[in-house]
Structure formats: C-alpha cells, structure tokens
Amino acid sequence: MDRNNLYPIFLKTKNLQILIVGGGFVAEEKLTFLLKSSPDANVLMVSPMFREGTKALAKKGNVTLINKKYSRRYLKGKHIVIATTDFPKVNETVYKHCRKRSILVNVADNPPFCDFYMGGIVTKGNVKIAISTNGQSPTTAKRLRQFFEEVLPENINDLVKNLNEFRKTIKGDFEQKVETLNEFTKGLIEKKES
C-alpha cells in the first residue's frame, strides 16, 4: 500500500518572502488559496500579463505585481517559489534555479518538480487542518475540506481558548497535565449516541 511520506508544517508567511511566477488562471488560484489561508503573506508575482482578478486580489493583500518575464534575479531573498506559467521550459528553469539556491519550489501540476504541495485547508478561528493526497488527487482533498468545514463546530475557537485557560490552571508535571487534558477532551472524539 502507498504511504504519504510528506511532513506537514504550518508556515508563518508573514515572516517569509514568496514568489509566484506566472499571471494566468493557475497563478490566480494559488494566490487566492494562499491569501485565504494567510492574508498577511508577502508575495511577489512576476509575469508579462496578469488577469483582472489577480490585480484586484493583489490590492487586498501584501502582493506586488511585476509586469516582466521571469529572471533569476527575482529569486533574491525568496524562501518559497511557485511556478505556474503555461511554458514547461520556463517552469523547469525556475525549478532548477531554486534547487541551486536551496529555495523551496512548487511547479504547478508537475509533482516531480515540487518540494511541497499546496493541499486543502480548513480554517475555523485558531483551528487549521491541512489535507494532503500526496499530490495524487486535488479533488479528493477538496471534498475532504468540504467535509471538515461542515463537521467542525462553529464554536471550536471558544473551546480552544477555554482549554488553553484550563491548561494553565492544571498542577503537576508535563505527563500529568497531558493525562488531565486527554481525559477532559476525550468527549470531543467519542461518537455521539443516536
């Protein structure tokens, strides 16, 4: 059986510099999901053209648009790069330039040229769930996202805050605190009697 060996992390995009190469539909889609999850992300987009939707989206976030063709000089100071152009050679060049500089790179719709995938994301207050299908099925990730959006209660954020306050009052060592919290929260995952 196949196994997903990806390691999920939650990035503080406010502290990072992100480059999106391309200005078409895929670039706009990537920017949309990025800003939906992380509205404070620092993004530079480079492309000879940009969709009107991308221009409107850029005004809502910390996004800079540069109307030029890709050049390796745009990699300076970047931590993450997403290549989305319609030209495989350009995307491959971006990938090679990033690999030389140890910059994390994702070439859209081309798993062998990806250091990471942008999966489905569910956010409710402080709770965030990231979903990965190992690059195999974005549609499955989308359906799972919709499922979790429905299943997670709207008051989950209150629960997180209340548990954090409760955690501060618990006496004992780390192990005892974990045991107390586990006992206190087990009702969260027990199946409801119908």
Q: For residue 96, is it within any domain?
A: yes
114 and 161 inside one domain: no
Q: What does pTM read for this prediction?
A: 0.83
Asked if residue 74 has pLDDT above 90, the reply is: yes
137 assigned to some structural domain: no
Please tell me the distance from the alpha carbon of residue 13 to that of residue 11, in angstroms, as a whole number. Answer: 6
Residues 95 and 183 placed together within one structural domain of the fold:
no
Buried b vs exposed e over 151-177: b needs ≥16 C-beta within 10 Å?
ebeeeeeeeeeeeeeeeeeeeeeeeee
Tell me the percentage of the chain whose pLDDT exceeds 70.
93
In a domain, 133, yes or no: no
Q: Are residues 97 and 180 in the same domain?
A: no
DSSP single-letter state for residue 193: P
Indicate whether 43 and 113 sit together in one domain: yes
Average pLDDT on 100-124 reads 93
Domain annotation covers residue 97 = yes
The boundaries of the domain holding residue 168 are 156-188
Whether residues 24 and 89 share a domain: the answer is yes
For residue 6, is it within any domain?
no
CATH number of the domain bearing residue 46: 3.40.50.720
Give the pLDDT of residue 158: 78
* Higher pLDDT, residue 194 or 121: 121
Average pLDDT, the chain: 89
Check whether residue 109 and residue 170 sit in a common domain. no
The pLDDT tens digits for 42-71 are 999 999 999 999 999 999 999 999 999 999
Q: Alpha helix (H) ranges present in the chain?
A: 25-37, 52-60, 88-100, 138-151, 156-169, 174-185
How many C-beta atoms surround the C-beta of residue 38 within 10 A? 20
- Smallest Cα–Cα separation from 167: which of 189, 190, 185? 185
Out of 77-86, 103-112, 168-177, 183-192, least confident range = 183-192
Number of folded domains that form the chain: 2
Tell me whether residue 101 is in a domain.
Answer: yes
> What average pLDDT does the segment 90-101 reach?
98
